[in-house]
């Protein structure tokens, strides 16, 4: 199977490549080359996901797409997110379908539920409640994926990533952290699952008091190998020691309490 990975030069893409290339041939797509050298089971294609011609070329001849590319950040504006988090998703879905791609794996985020308070939170059946423009873009991406899965039958696997930093920085992320190894294993399930329709799971490792019920991922064969408690950062801050700007009361943490950038005024 040949898999297109968008955003392959980013932190998540760089972290999962060593695991995925053991099973798949990878086409790496990004604006700039990755820091790690490309191996014999990898092919590098540079381009822009906002360009129809670049996207069309990127999906040609691949069996599956793993879409990681996005822009994010506490200060991300709506206008600044339009190309990468909206137009790119639709272009990629459109061209993947036209090219006969067999399945699509979408890297979403827990920030689609970030505006909920942690107290009493249960993710099961909750409506989307993004905490900022990054989460809003991911909610849009999930909706676009559902449209292509239901309307056109494109097999779809959505992974709502918790926290994919190299180590666990605070009590909130302790409940949703994921290692690159576990995340790659979850993506591999989406790439290989027989009879895939439309699935939504959470990208988390073994976490104490987990914020998200990941029963569906376990039912599909996911077995995390890494434990959040064994990967604490040197300056780890437990609940109660987190400053207000980290938003310890919210599912989305700092994104839920940071100022929401105003839209650009026109006229």
Is 134 annotated as catalytic?
A: yes
3-state secondary structure of 57: helix
End-to-end CA distance of the chain: 51
Q: Among residues 176, 165, 175, 167, which one has the least CA distance to residue 232?
A: 167
Spell out the SS3 assignment of 211-241.
CCCCHHHHHCCCCCCCEHHHCEEEEEECCCC
Task: List Cβ neighbours of 136 (8 Å cut-off, separation of 6 or more).
Answer: 78, 81, 130
Question: From the candidates 134, 148, 202, 222, which is the catalytic residue?
Answer: 134
> Is residue 222 within 8 Å of 162, Cβ to Cβ?
no
Annotated catalytic sites, by residue? Answer: 134
């Amino acid at each position: 199977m040949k898999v297109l990975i968008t955003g392959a030069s980013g932190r998540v893409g760089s972290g999962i490549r060593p695991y995925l290339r053991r099973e798949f041939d990878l086409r790496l797509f990004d604006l700039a080359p990755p820091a790690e050298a490309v191996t014999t089971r990898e092919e590098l294609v540079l381009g822009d996901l906002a360009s129809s011609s670049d996207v069309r070329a990127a999906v040609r001849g691949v069996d599956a797409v793993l879409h990681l590319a996005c822009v994010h950040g506490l200060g991300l504006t709506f206008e600044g997110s339009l190309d990468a988090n909206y137009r790119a998703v639709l272009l990629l879905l459109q061209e993947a379908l036209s090219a006969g791609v067999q399945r699509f794996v979408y890297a979403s985020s827990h920030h689609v539920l970030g505006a909920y308070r942690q107290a009493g939170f249960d993710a099961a059946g909750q409506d989307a409640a993004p905490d900022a423009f990054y989460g809003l873009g991911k909610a849009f991406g999930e909706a676009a994926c559902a449209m292509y899965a239901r309307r056109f039958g494109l097999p779809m696997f959505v992974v709502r990533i918790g926290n994919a930093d190299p180590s666990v920085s605070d009590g909130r992320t302790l409940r949703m952290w994921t290692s690159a190894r576990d995340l790659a294993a979850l993506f591999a399930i989406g790439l290989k699952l027989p009879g895939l329709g439309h699935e939504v799971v959470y990208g988390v490792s073994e976490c104490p008091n987990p914020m998200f019920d990941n029963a569906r991922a376990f039912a599909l064969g996911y077995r995390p190998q890494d434990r959040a408690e064994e990967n604490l950062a040197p300056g780890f801050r437990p609940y109660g020691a987190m400053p207000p700007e980290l938003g310890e009361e919210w599912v989305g943490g700092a994104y839920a309490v940071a100022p929401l950038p105003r839209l650009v005024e026109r006229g």
